[in-house]
A and B are shown apart, each in its own frame.
Chain A
Amino acid sequence: DQQVKQNSPSLSVQEGRISILNCDYTNSMFDYFLWYKKYPAEGPTFLISISSIKDKNEDGRFTVFLNKSAKHLSLHIVPSQPGDSAVYFCAASARNTGNQFYFGTGTSLTVIP
């Protein structure tokens, strides 16, 4: 049973436009959420995080939005650049699961020049 779901396996966006990657979760106890970015033949690298006490966190071109009532978070990339082409993983954890992070299946983003 996937507690973190990324229902879009892939997404294509024109350079300069906004990329929106979505993530849904089922466990209402999750209180910390992260996005990781993965290039081929490399390990995932941390991109941005958000605590459940916030509904938005911004870091440069990257913004994560959290909607706790809908159990949904999204990652916005504005403007999108070709170097953003990668697989993006959403992850979540809860205090009652210790340090365990639950990951989604990933969304492959392609930014078209």
Chain B
Amino acid sequence: DAGVIQSPRHEVTEMGQEVTLRCKPISGHDYLFWYRQTMMRGLELLIYFNNNVPIDDSGMPEDRFSAKMPNASFSTLKIQPSEPRDSAVYFCASSFGVKTSGANVLTFGAGSRLTVL
């Protein structure tokens, strides 16, 4: 398996523009997570899905952020309109099943570095 695949790896955009980040989870994984990494707060969970259904989106900072998972192999995180404070690295991660043992851990993608000017 190629692992969790994220695109784009780098995105530079201007304030007010729409940004769409994409994620392909590991085949067979039924949980998908979106995290944001900042220096101040580390890895923050934004939203996660189970079997394509959003379970907890309480970490989504504002209505400008939205996420979808139309099928088991694809998810998007959209920011509209983008602002400079959204600049961060956004990670997608997937896992199989509910955490019960060391085998059920998150597998992260390489991340999408977003810069909003």
Contacts and interface: CB of A to CB of B under 8 A. Distances in A.
A, B bound: yes
Interface of A: 2, 4, 6, 32, 34, 36, 41-46, 49, 89, 91, 93, 98-106
A24 B4 CA distance: 29
Nearest to B4: A43
Given A46-B105, A106-B42, A99 B31 contact: yes
B55 A98 contact: yes
Interface string B39-83: 111111100101000011000000000000000000000000000
What class of interface size applies to chain B in its complex with A? 20 to 34
A99 B99 contact: yes
Contacts of B111: 41-43
B109 interface: yes
Interface of B: 4, 31, 33, 35, 39-45, 48, 50, 55-56, 91, 93, 95, 98-99, 102, 105-111
Given A34-B105, A43-B110, A49-B102, A2 B41 contact: yes
A23 to B, nearest CB: 11
A99 B30 CA distance: 11
B9 to A, nearest CB: 8
12 contacts: A32-B99, A42-B111, A43-B4, A43-B93, A44-B106, A44-B108, A91-B43, A98-B56, A99-B31, A99-B48, A102-B45, A103-B45
A105 B102 contact: no
A103 B99 contact: no
